[in-house]
Chains A and B, each alone.
Chain A
Amino acid sequence: MSESRNPRQPTGAVLVVGGGIAGMQASLDLAEQGFRVHLVESKSAIGGHMAQLDKTFPTNDCAMCIMSPKLVETGRHLNIDLYVDSEVVSLEGEVGRFVAKLHRKPRYVDLERCVGCGDCEAVCPVSLPDIYNEQLTARKAIYKLYPQAVPNAYAIEKLGVAPCRHACPADQRAQGYIALIAQGRYREAFRVIKEDNPFPSVCGRTCHHPCEGHCTRALIDEAVSIMALKRFVVDYALAYGRERVEPAARTRPEWVAVVGAGPAGLTAAHDLAKLGYGVTVYEALPVAGGMMRVGIPAHRLPKGVLQQDIDDILALGINLKTNSPVDDPAALLKEGYDAVCLATGISTRDRSLGVDGEQAEGVMSAATFLRKVNLGEPVTVGERVAVVGGGITALDAAAVARRLGAREVHLALDRPRGELPAYHWEMAAVEAEGIHLFEHTTLTRILTQEGRVAGVELARTGKGMTVDEKGRRRPRVLPETIFTLAVDTVIGTIGQQSDLSFLDPRFDELEADQDTLASEIPGLFVVGGRKTGASYIVEAIALGHRVARSIHAYLQGESPGAIEEPRPSPVKLDREQATRLYALDPARALPRQEPALLPIEERVTSFREVVLGLTERQARAEAQRCLQCGLCAECLECVYACGTDAIDHNMQPQEIELEVGAVILAPGYEAYRAELSQEYGFGRYPNVITSLQLERLLSASGPTEGHVLRPSDGRPARKVAFLQCVGSRDQEHDYCSAVCCMYAAKEAILIREHDPQAEVRIFMMDVRAFSKGYEEYYRRAQEQYGIQFTRCRVSEIKEDPQTHELILRHAGPALEGPGARSAAERMSEERFDLVVLAVGMEISPKVQELGRRLGVELDRYGFCATTTFQPIETSRPGIYAVGPFREPKDIPESVIDASAAAAMAGGHLAAARGLLTREPSYPPEKDVTGESPRAGIFVCHCGSNIAGYLDVQALTAYAASLPNVVHAEDLLYACSQDSTAKIRERIREHNLNRVIVASCTPLTHGPLFQDVIRAEGLNEHLFAMANIRNHCSWVHSSDRAMATEKAKDLIRMALGRALALEPLHRQPTPIRQSALVLGGGVAGMSAALAIAEGGFEVDLVEREAVLGGQLRQIHLGLPGVSEGESADPADLLEDMISRVEKHASIQVHLESELVESRGFAGNFTSLIEHRNGERREIDHGATIVAIGGAEFRGDTYGYGTHDRILTQRDFEALLAAEMNPIPRDQGPSLELKDVRQVVMIQCVGPAETVCARTCCTVTLKNALHFKRRHPQAQVAIIHKDLRVYGFKERLYRQALDAGILFIRRSNGERPMVAFDHPEGILSVQILDAILRETITLQPDLVVLSMPMVPAKGSRELASRLKVPVDMEGWFLEAHVKLRPVDFASEGIFLAGAAHYPKLLDESIVQAQAAASRAMRLLARESVPTGGAIARVDPSACVACLTCVRICPYGVPRIDESAVGAGGIQGAAYIEPSVCQGCGTCVGECPAYAIELLHYRHSQVEKEVIALLRPEEIWTSSEVGS
């Protein structure tokens, strides 16, 4: 970012947090408005909860169908930067200039390289619960969140490095090979073991296995037998033939000498050879292997096994020189080696035992003893042997002594057996061989006779250590325990150390750096100096790796610090977490498998290997015990499978800093965790599921492909119960989640649609069908689909353990209607196959944490605190909250929030609009008119996805043989960066003017390739795709020949189409960057202000003489809905009017109405007329309809015939007058202070049949205000359902607490309001639906909750604007879910109660959203028009009006000035800027006068002809013909 920028200028970028539908919508709106967007999503793909839904209510649209275009658009938008796997960690600064810090989790898959082909997924051995499918099924550790995921790339779920791997000095991916063993993939297991360890055979047999010491499984029972599993794999590989190791390619000129052929030296040699260096290994002994060879007896490690590993290492092309001691390593450097590695390991000199008599004959060190035996030198041990020490070597020495014929072998251990790094069965085996074990015992003296060993004096040791006269630490001896044994030989196993004393004395002081292992002599590296020795083989291997890295760094001139690779932290689970993993797979519930041992009698008489190893069955069972606690096993199978080299298991987390001007928080909700409501048995009873799980079951792409099956047995669920309000409206939640009633109705309908036999019952309290079309939907669920709604709360669910049926106890039947009895009368029990818990919305702890980090105020449930008048503004300026994060809500309202936030954020940043946006830059387009077609066909392998099932070579050859094809080529992944570069190269090379890619689907990849050819100057329409993957290789995978033939057809068809294609261009049409807002109420004013703040001119037209609309009649706020808020509508009115009137960009036209509007998006001309008849023409780019609604007036319930029968508005005015001595509109005609009882009647007039959304809230508001002022008075509310949704539920709770009476009536029973004369006593009679008794009340006031109805003149306005209204007269949006404020006609938008009754905050937000949508258009100086749209050939048009009538968007019109067929005046005209490109007119036009460009008749037909009569298409093809 440039430093010279005006410091006061805001940053023209916005941070959007959350990639669900709201986050996507906000991002798209902002990006289109000229801002750069940083969209942050914590998951691996965007889409949020909506991606999980099957259908959406109330239209039953397929959720994925309507969302996926938005997904693709978000993913590809040039001005939306996607940060998946990321979270915001901090936000500094203030509005206009924030600095956000992100933390990006490693995905382990490179987004730039991954092409989403799925080859990795196929080989991944780890199965994990599929979160997208709500854990109903499993997915792999490498996964794509869902098939349509954006970005279309895989991710690896990894908790960290598995503890087994972390504990291993050599970094062995134990979980990886175990996972592969569990699947019987032993060769692959062997491959991954060798990846980090050139001595698998050795480590499978003799390792101190720290891995097992850290194994998470030990938290459940015992560690996994990791070492035995490794051995199993090695043995298997040995038995079935190890793969031959090929010599490593010499890619580097340097030579390295390694001194010492032990584990460290050979590992270093191995690594260096693989890096391409020349390596020579010098070994002093006649054999290679070091201590592995001479220190470990054959009965533990057979020589042949070790030799396998050594042979594999040497096969890389390493020179081994045995019998070649080196005492002057510097000489080797002089000889021409570029580096020398000293890896001589453990000293051959014996160290002192430190006891009397150790000089006697018959005393030897274990190392010497074992070396001699292993080298075949003669050794005599006599009859009786004592072995002293405390390590595994002591065990070995004792066992060897026994095998050499000693009858009596005593083994004195200075520690208890449990502290030895040996398995308990190894100890048992040694004892079984007849060796006497003394624990806690140390050698105090060697008894001698004539210089020969005669016996040993031993003693028990006490706790702690002492220091002897030479300063050595020794075990503390308990003198009273001293005893002696007569022996012939004493073998001591005092710990050995590496030293370098064999070197020339010049090197006495040789030291090496502990990290780099480099000595002070350049080029000389030392493993095994005083500081850098290894105690165990696997540590030596690790040192070998390290020194190799260090030598490599040295030879490449890199800093030695570079050798340490950062390692992710190990997984550390507690018992509870481990138990959860354990429970995931029943196969894990097995005891540890132990290998069989050689029978005792065979053991002591030979050096045959004692441990026989696991059988295959044992190995697989044992491998299945692994809890896979790292999740990803790091088996590297994906790395081997990936053809684009996209996987990097060492990927590190990233910290990213972003400068933004504003922030939109759209983190979404978390479904209530149903297991917390234990009474419903979720998690315990398999057939109790959540509504989101049902959503996945219902989805055609879900785990059951849309069949509703019982999880317990997979049988169809014939009787299903829904339990509403699980996690809503209960003790812990004082709010309504607002969506559950409708989604339950939807899911119930879908169940019935799928299986008409199924019986569905919904147990609920109130049905909150409060919005547009919801009531009808609810009614349809009952009447058309026979779904039963039962009004009661189920207290408990029990399960029949035999059948897994669920038994529900509830009060009831409580069905409404005649014959129904009182609920209290009896409890009934009912059985169901499946119980669905309609879970509510919560804010996840992570999101709450985010809110706190960002410093925005949250309520006690973690919802973001906002206010009625600034509904999307958080407590921190410049941060906006949208979607369920601020209140539970459904999709359209979240989308509205999102657009509104875009408008608000954009308003702050208007000065920086366009500063940070990117424009596509392409070279000028080549004119290919008149050229004969020169097609290039690129056939993709898609790794194995296509090439595995089709003969790609044959396809390429076939493509090359087709006419007009000048180039055909196969590509491994056509969409990878190197391939697209190649396509561009070929376009240049062969001067291609048609490009055909035969690969996957144009829906996801078409735009990418179009971009590629455009970058080479080819018009993007000269491109066609043959979908030989999704439509061929994947769906005909069993018949290669047939599938290949079909693919040939598909390629030929694509070519046929391509030859008929023509370049298309979109022309910029200048637009008028101003808006016309119709209606000066709260919606109109909000919209006007938002647009004006965004920097555009607004004409605001109001029919009345004053601004304010219905807001003028709203006097009271909603008490206690938002915590701690007191909002006075009068303040809002005053503030808004003054802001509107003062704003320089807003022109207010009072007492005016729109009489005419013509034109199209970006270029409208409208005529407005003042009441005095004056007319004025206004040019504008966008129109916003915000004409509001009106309170219903009718004579229902005696309204108008008695002065104590009021509407809620009248009542509110009285309340306001009482509170405020100077009433705003009129003086009071009635005093409230004497009122003792008020009866309020809900669902009046049209609301009897269609819910009008706001009345319940208004009623409760007024009732509460009244009751608080007049606590002695009684308020009774007669209602059907009580529809206070979201936080409005709190009004209901307050009303109950305040003692307001609620009388529920059933649908058919209407209250009777009676009085004898217009001033007489009122009486209200109603049949109480719960008590089933008639109640008579004699109130002082009857207040009718009149619903809001469409404003007068809405139908006329609709016809003037050519936009639709519904049956009632409400304006009809373009799409209920995803385009809630747009009209189908471009450029016209909808806000406030003109759409449907709205509360204040809802109107404000919707108006801001409409402003945002309008500004998408206004932000540009011109809009591109044209492209794939319909075009009329006037000369063929007979102006028959068919197109005018059929177009769903009303676009075609008759242009009187055009000359039609036969020279007759008048022909159809289709305005390019508004045509949607569906082609319906084309399909219908009887004169063939209309063509849909890019889908011309010739183009569609050429594709068909290419398939069926290919000989016909090659005849004439010219570009643009």
Chain B
Amino acid sequence: MSVQASPPLHIVAFCCHYCAYAAADLAGVLRLQYPATARIVEIPCAGRLDALEVLHTFEHGADGVMVAGCLEGDCHFQSGNLNAKRRVDFIRGLLEQIGLEPERLEMFNLSSAMARRFAEIVEQMASQIQALGPSPLRKQARSQPETIMESHTP
């Protein structure tokens, strides 16, 4: 692996099963190109996500976190996306309190047909995080994963 000047940024994208994850799938089918910085973690509903999980994700060294759920009013589980939104707003407040830019966390809503929108939000998030730079938490959290991996290979 080539040595890079700055380590690649990592964005964790929590995507709900019925809309956001499916929109990401469709973006693939349509071959839409977007930055390779986001890694999707599938959850059944955006409402499933709890605050501590998001905070832990930052603690583990994520540079950005995005939560993507169904369109408002269209949640497959009725209101999970609205609960998620409320929680995301709350967590952004916490981030601010601990001195982390709240812009590192964003909530998005999209339908499963909105592939273009998915590509756009990844792009938006990528440039947003690019502008903020690596998370200050990740220095202690992460060194080069490959070397550590090797040492842990049985």
Cβ of A1457 under 8 Å from chain B: no
- Chain A's closest residue to B1 (CB) is A1045
- B90-127, CB < 8 A from A: 111-117, 119
Whole-angstrom distance from the CB of B124 to the nearest CB of chain A? 15
Cβ of A1510 under 8 Å from chain B: yes
Asked if A62 and B71 sit within 8 Å, CB to CB, the answer is yes
Complex interface bits, A1494-1521 against B, C-beta within 8 A gives 1, otherwise 0: 0101001101110111110010000000
Asked if A1480 and B31 sit within 8 Å, CB to CB, the answer is no
- B43-88, CB < 8 A from A: 43-45, 47-50, 52-53, 56-57, 60-62, 70-71, 73-74, 76-80, 83-84, 87
Asked if B25 and A1035 sit within 8 Å, CB to CB, the answer is no
A contact residues around B47 at 8 Å (CB): 1478-1480, 1483
B contact residues around A61 at 8 Å (CB): 74
Asked if A1508 and B10 sit within 8 Å, CB to CB, the answer is yes
- Chain A's closest residue to B154 (CB) is A963
Asked if B12 and A700 sit within 8 Å, CB to CB, the answer is no
CB contact between A65 and one of B8, B36, B79, B111 (< 8 Å): that residue: B111
Q: Chain B interface residue count: which class? A: 35 or more
* Distance A1476 CA – B79 CA, assembled complex (angstroms): 13
A contact residues around B52 at 8 Å (CB): 1488, 1497
- A37-86, CB < 8 A from B: 54, 59-65, 68-69
Asked if B36 and A1039 sit within 8 Å, CB to CB, the answer is yes
- B12-55, CB < 8 A from A: 12, 17-19, 21-22, 24-34, 36, 39-45, 47-50, 52-53
* Distance A1039 CA – B35 CA, assembled complex (angstroms): 10
CB contact between B32 and one of A65, A1003, A1035 (< 8 Å): that residue: A1035
User: Which of A148, A1043, A1484, A1508 is packed against the most chain B CB atoms within 10 Å?
Assistant: A1508
Whole-angstrom distance from the CB of A46 to the nearest CB of chain B? 18
- A1026-1046, CB < 8 A from B: 1027, 1029-1032, 1034-1039, 1041-1043, 1045-1046
Cβ of B6 under 8 Å from chain A: no
B contact residues around A1035 at 8 Å (CB): 27-28, 31-34, 36, 119
Complex interface bits, A989-1016 against B, C-beta within 8 A gives 1, otherwise 0: 0000000000001110000000000000
B contact residues around A147 at 8 Å (CB): 26, 29-30
Asked if A1428 and B44 sit within 8 Å, CB to CB, the answer is yes
Cβ of A564 under 8 Å from chain B: no
CB contact between B53 and one of A963, A1034, A1448, A1500 (< 8 Å): that residue: A1500
* Distance A532 CA – B39 CA, assembled complex (angstroms): 69
Whole-angstrom distance from the CB of A52 to the nearest CB of chain B? 11
Q: A65-B112, A700-B113 are in contact. Are A1046 and B39 (CB under 8 A)?
A: yes
A contact residues around B17 at 8 Å (CB): 1003
* Distance A1510 CA – B150 CA, assembled complex (angstroms): 10
Whole-angstrom distance from the CB of B54 to the nearest CB of chain A? 10
Q: A701-B30, A1495-B43 are in contact. Are A65 and B62 (CB under 8 A)?
A: no
A contact residues around B57 at 8 Å (CB): 1504, 1508
Q: A65-B18, A1500-B41 are in contact. Are A1482 and B112 (CB under 8 A)?
A: no
Asked if B113 and A62 sit within 8 Å, CB to CB, the answer is yes
Asked if B48 and A1482 sit within 8 Å, CB to CB, the answer is yes
Complex interface bits, A374-394 against B, C-beta within 8 A gives 1, otherwise 0: 000000000000000000000
Q: A963-B152, A1484-B83 are in contact. Are A700 and B115 (CB under 8 A)?
A: yes
CB contact between A59 and one of B21, B27, B34, B73 (< 8 Å): that residue: B73
* Distance A1038 CA – B36 CA, assembled complex (angstroms): 11
B contact residues around A535 at 8 Å (CB): none
Whole-angstrom distance from the CB of A1038 to the nearest CB of chain B? 7
CB contact between B79 and one of A964, A1050, A1448 (< 8 Å): that residue: A1448
Complex interface bits, A395-406 against B, C-beta within 8 A gives 1, otherwise 0: 000000000000
Cβ of B3 under 8 Å from chain A: no
Whole-angstrom distance from the CB of B134 to the nearest CB of chain A? 12
Complex interface bits, A1471-1490 against B, C-beta within 8 A gives 1, otherwise 0: 00000111110111100100
Whole-angstrom distance from the CB of A1228 to the nearest CB of chain B? 51
A contact residues around B19 at 8 Å (CB): 62, 65
Asked if B145 and A1511 sit within 8 Å, CB to CB, the answer is yes
Asked if B24 and A1030 sit within 8 Å, CB to CB, the answer is yes
CB contact between B41 and one of A148, A962, A1053 (< 8 Å): that residue: A1053
CB contact between A1031 and one of B40, B50, B71, B76 (< 8 Å): that residue: B40
A contact residues around B119 at 8 Å (CB): 1035
Complex interface bits, A686-701 against B, C-beta within 8 A gives 1, otherwise 0: 0000000000000111
Asked if A1031 and B25 sit within 8 Å, CB to CB, the answer is yes
Asked if A1448 and B77 sit within 8 Å, CB to CB, the answer is yes
* Distance A1514 CA – B152 CA, assembled complex (angstroms): 8
Whole-angstrom distance from the CB of B104 to the nearest CB of chain A? 14
* Distance A1486 CA – B4 CA, assembled complex (angstroms): 42
- Chain A's closest residue to B150 (CB) is A961
* Distance A1038 CA – B31 CA, assembled complex (angstroms): 11
Whole-angstrom distance from the CB of A37 to the nearest CB of chain B? 25
- Chain A's closest residue to B17 (CB) is A1003
Whole-angstrom distance from the CB of B80 to the nearest CB of chain A? 5
Cβ of A458 under 8 Å from chain B: no
Asked if A1037 and B31 sit within 8 Å, CB to CB, the answer is yes
A contact residues around B152 at 8 Å (CB): 963, 1510-1511, 1514
B contact residues around A1510 at 8 Å (CB): 145, 148-149, 152
User: Which of B1, B29, B71, B77 is packed against the most chain A CB atoms within 10 Å?
Assistant: B29
B contact residues around A1002 at 8 Å (CB): 42
Q: A1035-B33, A1483-B49 are in contact. Are A705 and B116 (CB under 8 A)?
A: yes
User: Which of B19, B56, B113 is packed against the most chain A CB atoms within 10 Å?
Assistant: B113
Cβ of A1467 under 8 Å from chain B: no
* Distance A1038 CA – B42 CA, assembled complex (angstroms): 25
Asked if A1036 and B50 sit within 8 Å, CB to CB, the answer is no
Cβ of A491 under 8 Å from chain B: no
CB contact between B153 and one of A963, A1046, A1449 (< 8 Å): that residue: A963
- Chain B's closest residue to A945 (CB) is B28
* Distance A1274 CA – B32 CA, assembled complex (angstroms): 66
A contact residues around B1 at 8 Å (CB): 1045
Cβ of A1049 under 8 Å from chain B: yes
* Distance A1485 CA – B45 CA, assembled complex (angstroms): 15
Asked if A1003 and B25 sit within 8 Å, CB to CB, the answer is yes
B contact residues around A1050 at 8 Å (CB): 39
* Distance A1030 CA – B40 CA, assembled complex (angstroms): 11
Whole-angstrom distance from the CB of A709 to the nearest CB of chain B? 14
Asked if A1483 and B25 sit within 8 Å, CB to CB, the answer is no
B contact residues around A1042 at 8 Å (CB): 36
- Chain B's closest residue to A702 (CB) is B113
Asked if A1483 and B87 sit within 8 Å, CB to CB, the answer is yes
Asked if A700 and B111 sit within 8 Å, CB to CB, the answer is yes
Asked if A1031 and B24 sit within 8 Å, CB to CB, the answer is yes
Asked if B73 and A1034 sit within 8 Å, CB to CB, the answer is no
Q: A700-B111, A1045-B1 are in contact. Are A1508 and B62 (CB under 8 A)?
A: yes
* Distance A1214 CA – B37 CA, assembled complex (angstroms): 75
B contact residues around A1511 at 8 Å (CB): 145, 148-149, 151-152
Asked if B80 and A1504 sit within 8 Å, CB to CB, the answer is no
Q: List 8 A-B contacts (CB under 8 A).
A: A59-B74, A62-B74, A65-B70, A700-B113, A706-B114, A1053-B39, A1484-B87, A1508-B62
CB-CB nearest 5 A-B residue pairs: A1479-B48, A1030-B28, A1478-B77, A62-B111, A1480-B47
Residues of A within 8 A of B (CB): 54, 59-65, 68-69, 147-148, 699-701, 705-706, 961-964, 1001-1003, 1027, 1029-1032, 1034-1039, 1041-1043, 1045-1046, 1049-1050, 1053, 1384, 1428, 1446, 1448-1449, 1476-1480, 1482-1485, 1488, 1492, 1495, 1497, 1500-1501, 1503-1505, 1507-1511, 1514
Known: A62-B112, A1511-B149, A1511-B152. 20 other contacts (CB 8 A): A54-B113, A59-B73, A63-B113, A65-B112, A700-B111, A701-B113, A1001-B21, A1030-B26, A1034-B29, A1448-B77, A1479-B45, A1495-B44, A1500-B41, A1501-B56, A1504-B41, A1504-B53, A1507-B12, A1508-B57, A1508-B62, A1511-B148
